[in-house]
Amino acid sequence: MSSPLPSSPAASVLDLAPVVPVVVVDDLADAVPLARALVAGGLPAIEVTLRTPVALDAIRAIAAEVPDAVVGAGTVVTAEQVGEVVAAGARFLVSPGWTDGLLEAMRGSGVPFLPGVSTTSEVVALLERGVREMKFFPAEAAGGTAYLKALAAPLPQARFCPTGGITPASAPEYLALPNVGCVGGSWMLPKDAVTDRDWARVERLAREAAGLLSAGGTSR
């Protein structure tokens, strides 16, 4: 199975799968088998967060050894990081927030990006700058589905990947919203499964997550 994300900068991360796993890699040896389990379960877009010393090497390893994965970088907060992760093989970028400088770097990277927003003014500011796809973070703390539902009527051109506090129970409610393309989460990567290297369990949970679109997103 070839990667579903075209090389065009205009390609959308939001349409790859209903859930983008948000991955924190502590042990580099886990990166490739973890990514293979997620892809086998139907979640090809994998956001590796820049929260650990091995994150860049994890992105590099997944990009080189898991060709069906669409590996991206999360927690991108500086222009310097943008260059580093793209050089390592990241095919999309996710930030928890944005500044003009960071936005300029992400726009110039040549790969799709999701700048983070949590207020209406931030959404409007990005729309003014020609950006229509965003990360809504921290989703639950910032108002959850009620907030996103309220944004849909006045700002229908904005599409979101909500991330932060989302569970298998709440994910279908988000996916049913017309302005949500996918959600981000880590519930398919329970700490004990990763510690035990129980990749079969990760694959099973990923498959369940990949099936959430039919459970809750049929209205889109």
Catalytic residues: 47, 135
Q: Write down the H helix ranges in the chain.
A: 31-40, 55-65, 79-88, 100-107, 120-128, 144-152, 171-175, 191-195, 199-210, 212-216
The structure tokens 């997944």 sit at: 62
Q: Is the dihedral of CA 76, 112, 166, 210 positive or negative?
A: negative
Tell me the C-alpha distance between 197 and 107, whole Å. Answer: 37
The DSSP letter of residue 196 is T
Q: Write down the H helix ranges in 41-165.
A: 55-65, 79-88, 100-107, 120-128, 144-152
Spatial neighbors of 40 by CB under 8 A, at least 6 apart, are 203, 206
